Every structure is written in structure tokens, then in C-alpha cells.
Amino acid sequence: MSKLVWDKGMEARLVRAWNAGVPASLLGERFGTSGAAIIVKIGALRANGVELRYDPSALESSRRRQAQRLRLYDAHYRGEATRGRAMAQGSI
């Protein structure tokens, strides 16, 4: 992957998206680089005095989605999802 050259417009878009709570992995896809490179760029921007923050509501909704995924994963591997489907179909 070639090194990404950041211009002022790209940096401004990155700051707006980061402040809105967009994850580094998605920003990496958007800018054609890796999530790790986005984290490095965010660190460089902070070091240069750019004010960066997270949107707490975006972080909270992300945490809720992760918790829901974990519950579904656990239920699947404990067999609860299968039992629920079987009960719904009337075979139990």
C-alpha cells in the first residue's frame, strides 16, 4: 500500500468524522488506508494541537451493538438460538 499524502481538506474530513465517533477501521476504508494508519494520523493531529473528541452517543451506541453481538454469539454457541427456532416451529 502506498503512503497516503494528507491535504488540508482530507484532514478536515478526518477530524469531522473522528469527532462524530466514526471508528478508525471505517475511516481507513474511506481514506484507502488501514485503521492503524488512521490512529497514527489522529495522534499526529493531537500532537499538533488539533482538538479531537469523540461523540459520547456514538461510542455508547457502538458499545450497545457490541454487547448485542456478544449476546447473540453466546446464545448461538450455547444452543439457545437453535432451541428457540425449534420451539417456534413447534417441533419441541
89 pLDDT higher than 70: no
Does residue 74 surpass a pLDDT of 70? yes
Give the per-residue pLDDT at 6.
92
Q: Sign of torsion, CA 39 45 49 51?
A: negative
How many domains in the chain? 2
Residue with cell 488539533: 50
pLDDT score recorded for residue 11: 95
Mark whether 92 and 64 lie in a shared domain.
yes
Which is higher by pLDDT, 87 or 45? Answer: 45
Domain co-membership, 34 together with 67: no
Q: What is the pLDDT of residue 83?
A: 59
Mean pLDDT computed over 26-41 = 90
Distance CA 30, CA 13 (A): 10
Residue-number span of the structural domain to which 72 is assigned: 56-92
Q: What is the pLDDT of residue 30?
A: 92
Q: Which of 48, 50, 36, 42 is nearest to 18 (CA)?
A: 42
Region 45-73: mean pLDDT is 75
User: Rounded to whole angstroms, how far apart are CA atoms 70 and 77?
Assistant: 11
Q: What is the pTM of this model?
A: 0.57
